[in-house]
């Protein structure tokens, strides 16, 4: 097994999965720069050393580059990382997921709708945000309500793009983002406002590709146009310029793609040219080149 170098840990529970014994540890101390919050060690009947492990690794760079506070990782003949989230610091959540992974590994695939740790985590987040919104009143705490709706919208969006995602998650994501934007101001929370407009448009684009319906393409067109309008006010333009944010270029780029799907190629080319102008302003040379190729192909019909 790939080594899990622990110098100290506190056992908290033991579980039996088929013929395998699983020991859950917390307050773990590791050797070197990698540190652990919790671990689950798997032993076979005839082994004194673990043959498999799941661990909650501390994300030392979370405060620098973002991400969750801990990674969920497994160890057998190699090290596998299932992504970071603050939830992996919680012993109960970690234990439930570790036992789930171990059961899948040594007993067989379970018949869960959500097959991966990432999808199960997203589902927990969805439930958490839904419960939180039941207790929040936008009249008295509009900021927290709006940010929780943004988090719920992002969770639905990620679920919609997972292997088991469907168009219903896209619809729910749009509804959550729209609810958030009712209580967000571009003056006070420009970052959240930008994210909401962007994700609504992107959701409608994904929905149009999922359903292949003309009406959904038209919704995507309208959503991208609304996003561009919302982000080209004088105040938002100044904010985007000061933060070197070229999102308006990407929105024009995607809107061009929508017009292409609608069969309106001249308008698509116009949008791609507008995207090029924004990309050039921010020195995004590869994006300039990419849109130039799309325009050339559209003009020659290749």
Residue 167 lies in a domain: yes
85-88: long-range contacts, CB 8 A cutoff, minimum separation 24: 85/121, 87/121, 87/124, 87/125, 88/37, 88/56
Reference 143, options 106, 111, 178, 189; nearest CA is 189
- Asked whether the predicted pLDDT for residue 109 surpasses 60, the reply is no
Q: Which of 68-72, 116-120, 268-272 has the lowest mean pLDDT?
A: 116-120
Please report the pLDDT score of residue 66 as a whole number. Answer: 77
Average pLDDT over residues 9-32: 92
Residue 109 neighbours by CB distance under 10 Å: 9
DSSP class of 29: E
- Asked whether the predicted pLDDT for residue 136 surpasses 50, the reply is yes
Per-residue pLDDT tens digits for 243-262? 888 999 999 999 999 999 99
Please report the pLDDT score of residue 210 as a whole number. Answer: 79
Residue 112 lies in a domain: no
Please report the pLDDT score of residue 34 as a whole number. Answer: 85
Q: How far apart are CA 277 and CA 180, in angstroms?
A: 31
Q: How far apart are CA 17 and CA 99, in angstroms?
A: 8
Residues 70 and 208 in one domain: no
Please report the pLDDT score of residue 2 as a whole number. Answer: 58
Helix (H) or strand (E) holding 42, with range, is strand 36-43
Residues 71 and 218 in one domain: no
What is the percentage of the chain residues whose pLDDT exceeds 90? 50
- Asked whether the predicted pLDDT for residue 116 surpasses 90, the reply is no
Residues 48 and 137 in one domain: no
Per-residue pLDDT tens digits for 156-207? 998 888 765 578 889 899 999 999 999 988 877 888 888 888 899 888 888 8
Residues 210 and 72 in one domain: no
- Asked whether the predicted pLDDT for residue 26 surpasses 90, the reply is yes
The model's pTM: 0.68
Rg of the chain on CA atoms, in Å:
24
For the chain, the domain total comes to 2
Asked if residues 163 and 116 have their Cβ atoms less than 8 Å apart, the reply is yes
Per-residue pLDDT tens digits for 203-220? 888 888 878 888 889 999
Q: The domain containing residue 64 runs over which residues?
A: 6-106
Average pLDDT over residues 274-285: 94
- Asked whether the predicted pLDDT for residue 42 surpasses 90, the reply is yes
Tokens of 108: 């067989």
CATH code: domain of residue 235:
1.25.40.10
Asked if residues 8 and 22 have their Cβ atoms less than 8 Å apart, the reply is no
What band does 111 get if pLDDT is binned at 50, 70 and 90? very low
Please report the pLDDT score of residue 265 as a whole number. Answer: 95
Residues 75 and 160 in one domain: no
Q: How far apart are CA 16 and CA 83, in angstroms?
A: 26
Residues 145 and 275 in one domain: yes
Residue-wise DSSP of 229-294: HHT-SHHHHHHHHHTT--HHHHHHHHHHHHHHHTT-HHHHHHHHHHHHHHHHHTT-HHHHHHHHHH
What band does 82 get if pLDDT is binned at 50, 70 and 90? confident
DSSP class of 87: G
Which phi and psi angles does 301 have, rounded to 5°?
75, 20
Asked if residues 206 and 161 have their Cβ atoms less than 8 Å apart, the reply is yes
Average pLDDT, the chain: 88
Residues 75 and 134 in one domain: no
Angle subtended at Cα 130 by Cα 150 and Cα 94, rounded to the nearest 5 degrees: 95
Cα dihedral value 77, 78, 84, 86, nearest 10: 40
Length of the chain, in residues: 302
Residues 172 and 83 in one domain: no
Average pLDDT over residues 134-158: 92
Tokens of 296: 């050339």
State which of 106, 128, 149 marks the end of a domain.
106
């Amino acid at each position: 097994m790939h080594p899990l170098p622990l110098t100290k840990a506190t056992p908290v529970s033991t579980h039996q999965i088929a013929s395998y014994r699983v020991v859950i540890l917390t307050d773990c101390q590791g050797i070197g720069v990698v540190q652990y919050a919790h671990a689950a060690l798997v032993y076979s009947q005839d082994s004194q050393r673990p043959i498999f492990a799941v661990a909650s690794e501390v994300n030392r760079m979370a405060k620098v580059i973002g991400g969750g506070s801990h990674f969920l990782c497994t160890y057998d003949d190699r090290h596998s990382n299932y992504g970071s989230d603050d939830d992996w610091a919680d012993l109960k959540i970690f234990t439930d997921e570790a036992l789930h992974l171990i059961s899948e590994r040594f007993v067989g695939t379970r018949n869960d709708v959500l097959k991966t740790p990432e999808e199960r985590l997203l589902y927990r987040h969805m439930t958490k945000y839904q419960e939180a919104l039941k207790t929040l009143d936008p009249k008295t705490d509009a900021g927290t309500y709006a940010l929780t709706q943004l988090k719920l919208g992002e969770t639905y969006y990620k679920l919609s793009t997972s292997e088991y995602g469907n168009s219903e998650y896209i619809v729910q994501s749009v509804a959550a983002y729209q609810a958030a934007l009712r209580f967000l101001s571009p003056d006070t929370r420009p970052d959240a406002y930008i994210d909401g407009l962007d994700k609504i448009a992107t959701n409608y684009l994904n929905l149009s590709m999922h359903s292949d319906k003309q009406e959904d393409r038209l919704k995507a067109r309208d959503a991208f146009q609304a996003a561009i309008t919302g982000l080209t006010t004088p105040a938002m333009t100044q904010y985007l310029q000061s933060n070197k944010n070229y999102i308006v270029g990407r929105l024009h780029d995607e809107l061009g793609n929508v017009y292409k799907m609608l069969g309106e190629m001249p308008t698509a080319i116009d949008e791609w040219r507008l995207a090029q102008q924004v990309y050039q302003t921010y020195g995004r040379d590869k994006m300039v080149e990419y849109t130039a190729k799309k325009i050339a192909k559209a003009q020659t019909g290749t």
